Amino acid sequence: MNTLNQTLNVVEHFFSIQGEGSFCGTPSYFIRMGICPLRCFFCDSKFTWKKRNEEWSLESLYNAVLKNKCKHVVITGGEPFYRENYDQLVKMASFFARDFIVTIETTGIYDPEQIYMNTLFDNLNKFEKDILDYSLEDDIDEMDNIYFSISPKLNIEAYSECNNKVDISTVYEFYNLRKFSKKMKKFNYKYYYKFVYSSEMMDSIESFLNKYVPDRLLHDNIFIMPETFLVDSDRTNRKNKEEAAEFCKRMGVRYSPRIHVDIWGLQRGK
Ligand code: SF4
């Protein structure tokens, strides 16, 4: 079947403002893929957990993006890297990166079981090779336009598909930035890490940063983003934001707001 006409595993797509990370504040078109193999307690997109094949082809998505004044496409999830999404991700990213800046929001996990055997580095290397193999035009290097927003999940309960065999050091090793830092430099910091902060997660994030982030690596590509509680009061959210800001000052990393949540709350498609 022609790639342009294939039905994609897309849950929703919409035009909004990127509220988080490096492109915070940038008008962006969001394409949200279905399915995630993890189960984070703070997940604000649980509706993605099951597969949804909506009637969207690459061509119709492309036309939808073109109707808006934006040069930035965000492929998010769910988990775009998950094995059931992976081939579609390669095609989508390659296709859009010819004309747009593309950010892929991911945990980098292809298969939860693989967390024992592999590293994030290997998965991203494979992705680059696959993008090159798939490249539609010889004179364009799609990787030049692709950014990765990597969100390590350091809460062990999220890995329930691994039959509770995963321990936290295995997860830390998967996200080991010491192994990854040369690669990050090569790509001019087009990879950044984003941690969802809550007081429950503080110790895990801190010990990860202390153990696995090399001192020489600038911390300006590490973002701390306060968890926003869905049904709680403004006062709790404010407290969480203040704690996240204090954490950033103490650890020398960057604070990321969630502009879309501040403006629209947790409405879908905003
Ligand atoms: S990895 Fe993301 S989509 Fe998956 S459960 Fe965690 S927060 Fe939700």
8 A C-beta contact, residue 147 and residue 71: no
Q: Residue 223: what pLDDT?
A: 95
Looking at 41-153, list the stretches that DSSP marks H as alpha helix, in order from N- to C-terminal side: 58-66, 83-96, 120-134
Hey, where are the domains in the chain? 3-264
Cα separation, 92 vs 245, in Å, equals 35
CB 77 less than 6 A from any atom of ligand 1: yes
Query: Using one digit for the tens of pLDDT, what is the confidence trace for 159-207?
Result: 887 766 788 888 999 998 887 777 666 665 688 999 999 998 999 999 9
8 A C-beta contact, residue 142 and residue 93: yes
Answer whether residue 4 shows pLDDT above 80: no
Residues of the chain with pLDDT > 70: what percent?
Answer: 91
8 A C-beta contact, residue 65 and residue 92: no
Q: Residue 233: what pLDDT?
A: 66
C-alpha 173 – ligand 1 centre gap (Å) = 19
Q: Tell which residue, 88, 11, 82, has the closest CA to residue 48.
A: 11
Q: Is pTM beyond 0.75 here?
A: yes
CB 13 less than 6 A from any atom of ligand 1: no
Mutational pocket test of ligand 1: of 9, 32, 36, the residue with most ligand atoms within 8 Å of the beta carbon: 36
Residues of the chain with pLDDT > 90: what percent?
Answer: 49
* 221 vs 246 pLDDT, higher one: 246
pLDDT level of residue 127 (50, 70, 90 thresholds): very high
Give me the mean pLDDT over the 26-48 stretch: 91
Answer whether residue 231 shows pLDDT above 60: no
User: What does the CA dihedral 190, 13, 61, 108 come to, rounded to 10 degrees?
Assistant: 40
Mutational pocket test of ligand 1: of 30, 105, 107, the residue with most ligand atoms within 8 Å of the beta carbon: 107
Q: Residue 107: what pLDDT?
A: 95
8 A C-beta contact, residue 159 and residue 168: no
Q: Angle CA(34)–CA(81)–CA(218) in degrees, nearest 5?
A: 125
Q: Residue 193: what pLDDT?
A: 92
Low-confidence winner among 58-72, 89-103, 195-209, 231-245 (lowest mean pLDDT): 231-245
Q: Residue 186: what pLDDT?
A: 63
Cα separation, 124 vs 150, in Å, equals 11
pLDDT level of residue 269 (50, 70, 90 thresholds): confident
Q: Is 114 exposed, middle or buried (0-12, 13-18, 19+ CB in 10 A)?
A: middle
Mean pLDDT is highest, among 87-101, 149-163, 210-224, for 87-101
Q: Which atom of ligand 1 is nearest to the CA of 36?
A: 4
Q: Residue 7: what pLDDT?
A: 78
89 CB neighbour count, 10 Å cutoff:
24
Q: How many residues does the chain have?
A: 270
CATH of 3-264, one of 3.20.20.70, 3.30.70.20, 2.60.40.420, 1.10.10.10: 3.20.20.70
CB 45 less than 6 A from any atom of ligand 1: yes
